[in-house]
Structure formats: structure tokens, C-alpha cells
Homo-oligomer: A and B are copies of this chain.
């Protein structure tokens, strides 16, 4: 196993920034929409709006892939779809296993967006013997005893973990030992993996907590604004927060 960190060599032409990679799927989705509506070309401005980013960022992102646009015209939709798909590795298809077929695992198995784009659910795996053989999303659940064989028989390199947190690390270890090198973790645990294995995590609870932080801050600002509104002490406004017309949402519930 490649143990050494190969010390990123200020990579030459193939060094696409991580932030850009994370946005490519967004562009691809927007482009797919345009493609379905048979739109032939699109400007950076239009595409950026559809993807929810600004156009300078989009152009910079595309510049890492190459020069796929035409000045004065824009981008050819089909061509870009192909180029981005290729860059993301979606021209081949990726067999995926989901481990842990509870509510969430089942929901993911049923999720349409899975198959739509290069991914195929190769197997559903659960530790509960009572689950084995049951059909979920048209696929028979298999017992986790056979995990290693399933992985290697299907050439799976991407695993999705939707188990309870207590067993996520064990499952992860087995997946990695069996040859999986990319893991999408829905269990609220930090997974330890060897070098060369990528882990991405999705955590509902974390997302909500981040939202709560901002909610609280909004509430605080509102309160501060109200405080300012009444007394107005001799001291000047001290440029504290932004002006009165700032950011409190225009939507005031009746």
C-alpha cells in the first residue's frame, strides 16, 4: 500500500482545486437541464445563475479544465456536459454498495439520483439476518458476512455507510480491507482510514447546528437593532454593524 504521502508536487496541468471539483457536479446538473431543453449554447453568466454561483468563479473553474468555450459566444452545452462528465469520471459507471439498510439506507437505495448519473447500486448489505433476502428498491439485501466477497466480485470501490455510529468504524475497516477506496459516511462518527482512502461525510445534525448558529446570530442582531432604535445614547453609532437597511429579511410575518 502506498504509505508515503507523495508530497503534492505543485501539480502541473492536472491540478484541479478541490473547491472547483466540488462545484463541477453543480455545473453538470445545470447543464443537463439545459441539454434536456435542447439549449445549444450558454454564456458563463447564464450558467452561473443556473448553478447558483457567480460567473467569474465559473469561468475560473472552467479554465482549470481547459478552454472549452468560444469568446463572444459562450459554451456549447453538449460538449461541456461531456467534458465535465469525463473529468468527474462519470463516463464509466461505478458500482456502489450501501451498508446498513435501516430507514436511511433504504431511502438512499430508493433515491433516483443514484442511478441517474454513472452510479449503480451493486448491493445492499445489512448485519441483521432478518433483513437478508428482503427486497429493498428491487434489490435483495445480503447479509454482511459476505461483504468481502460482494465487494470483490463486483469490483466495488465506493461504499456508502448508513449503519448506526457504533459499528461504522468496523464496517469501514472491512470495506477498506476488501478494496474500497472511497467512502461516503452518513453515520455521525469520525472514520479513521489509511492513506489513499477518501472519506466524505454527510451529517444532518452538523448541518442543523450550523444553521442554528446563524439563526441565533440573526436573532441577536435583531435584538441589538431594536435596542438601538429606542434610546440612542450620546455616543456615536460606532459603525458597529452595517447600516439600518442591512440584512434583516424583508419578510416580516404578519
Is A60 engaged at the interface, CB distance under 8 Å to the other chain?
Answer: no
Is A142 engaged at the interface, CB distance under 8 Å to the other chain?
Answer: no
Q: A212 contacts B88, CB within 8 Å? A: yes
Q: A14 contacts B254, CB within 8 Å? A: no
Interface 0/1 of A1-34, CB less than 8 Å to B: 0011111110111110010011011101110000
Interface stretch among A36-44, A74-82, A113-121, A124-132? Answer: A113-121
Q: B11 contacts A210, CB within 8 Å? A: no
Chain A's interface size range is 35 or more
Q: A114 contacts B205, CB within 8 Å? A: yes
Q: A246 contacts B7, CB within 8 Å? A: yes
Compute how far the CA of A128 lies from the CA of B254 in the bound complex, rounded to whole angstroms. Answer: 27
Complex A-B: 15 CB contacts under 8 Å: A8-B247, A8-B249, A9-B241, A15-B246, A21-B210, A52-B191, A52-B192, A89-B212, A113-B205, A117-B209, A191-B254, A192-B254, A194-B249, A194-B250, A195-B249
Copies in the complex: 2
Q: A208 contacts B184, CB within 8 Å? A: yes
Q: A9 contacts B218, CB within 8 Å? A: no
> Given A182-B214, A205-B114, A198 and B107 touching (CB < 8 A)?
no
Compute how far the CA of A26 lies from the CA of B201 in the bound complex, rounded to whole angstroms. Answer: 12
Q: A12 contacts B240, CB within 8 Å? A: yes
Is A237 engaged at the interface, CB distance under 8 Å to the other chain?
Answer: no
Is A199 engaged at the interface, CB distance under 8 Å to the other chain?
Answer: yes
Q: A212 contacts B90, CB within 8 Å? A: yes
Within A156-213, which residues are at the interface with B (CB < 8 Å)?
Answer: 157-158, 176-179, 181-184, 188, 190-213
B residues less than 8 Å from A254 (CB atoms): 190-193, 197, 199
Instruction: Give A contacts to B, CB under 8 Å.
Output: 3-9, 11-15, 18, 21-22, 24-26, 28-30, 50-52, 87-90, 92, 94, 96, 102-104, 106-108, 110-111, 113-114, 116-119, 152, 157-158, 176-179, 181-184, 188, 190-218, 240-243, 245-254
Min C-beta distance of A62 to chain B, whole Å: 15
Chain B residue with the shortest CB-CB distance to A249: B196
Compute how far the CA of A13 lies from the CA of B246 in the bound complex, rounded to whole angstroms. Answer: 11
- The one of B18, B114, B198, B213 that contacts A211, using a Cβ cutoff of 8 Å: B198
B residues less than 8 Å from A87 (CB atoms): 213
B residues less than 8 Å from A181 (CB atoms): 215, 218, 249
